[in-house]
């Protein structure tokens, strides 16, 4: 007949893999087509099972070279984890793979470059489409070195974990539906610097600065 000790041990061994089975959830600004800061270490953060080990492999391809970086971290008692990745030069086409147990999350088409936040009221929010322009008018909008992220409108009494949108590679259609000021700013910077440019748009007409 099983003793109390053997039952406890059985429950322990059954529960140990559970942390590793929880899917990897990344903070909302991390995703496919994202721009990560170049030339400095950067943080990948999110949630997984409490105490679970999270390993990463970064295939970095800026400047036409392919280099692999491998390391890992352990989530805290709430499942929160942060991994500091090494600085990378500006460029396109990298890939980041995160694994925890049998869970995997892959971020594809990652660029390293410069990040900007575009905030304000209606002047910043106004899109090229609202100005009467169409995709055919978006010169230079097909440059894969320009990436766009829109924070969707939302109200809350406590901080939200989601942004309501994801990163997009610039295209005539995406640029036309994005902030006209922010897109043309990003395009100009891209042309002058040659570095990938990511713009995070957080704007809402008629709202105070605290809302952005």
3-state secondary structure of 174: helix
What are φ and ψ of residue 100, in 5° steps? Answer: -145, 110
Q: What's the CA dihedral at 157, 163, 164, 167 to 10 degrees?
A: 170
| Arithmetic mean of pLDDT over the chain | 86
Contact (Cβ atoms closer than 8 angstroms) between residue 28 and residue 78: no
Contact (Cβ atoms closer than 8 angstroms) between residue 183 and residue 141: yes
What are φ and ψ of residue 75, in 5° steps? Answer: -70, 150
Note down pLDDT in tens along the chain; length 212 residues. Answer: 455 544 544 444 444 444 447 899 999 899 999 999 999 999 999 999 999 999 999 998 876 667 788 888 999 999 999 999 999 999 999 999 999 999 999 999 999 999 999 999 999 999 999 999 899 988 889 999 999 999 887 777 777 776 677 899 999 999 999 999 999 999 999 999 999 999 999 988 888 877 66
pTM over 0.85: no
Rg of the chain over Cα atoms, rounded to whole angstroms, equals 21
């Amino acid at each position: 007949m099983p003793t109390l000790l053997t039952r406890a041990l059985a429950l322990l061994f059954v529960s140990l893999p559970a942390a590793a089975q929880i899917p990897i959830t990344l903070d909302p600004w991390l995703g496919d087509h994202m721009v990560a800061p170049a030339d400095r270490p950067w943080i990948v953060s999110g949630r997984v099972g409490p105490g679970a080990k999270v390993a990463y492999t970064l295939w970095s391809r800026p400047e036409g070279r392919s280099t692999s970086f491998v390391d890992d971290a352990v989530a805290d008692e709430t499942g929160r984890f942060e991994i500091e990745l090494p600085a990378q030069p500006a460029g396109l086409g990298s890939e980041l793979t995160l694994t925890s147990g049998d869970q995997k999350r892959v971020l594809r088409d990652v660029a390293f470059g410069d990040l900007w936040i575009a905030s304000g009221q209606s002047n910043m929010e106004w899109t090229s489409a609202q100005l009467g322009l169409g995709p055919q008018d978006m010169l230079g909008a097909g440059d894969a070195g320009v990436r766009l992220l829109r924070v969707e409108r939302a109200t809350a009494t406590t901080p939200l974990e989601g942004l309501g949108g994801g990163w997009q590679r610039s295209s005539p259609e995406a640029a036309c539906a994005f902030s006209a000021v922010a897109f043309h700013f990003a395009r100009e910077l891209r042309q002058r610097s040659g570095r990938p440019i990511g713009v995070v748009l957080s704007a809402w007409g008629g709202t105070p600065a605290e809302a952005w």
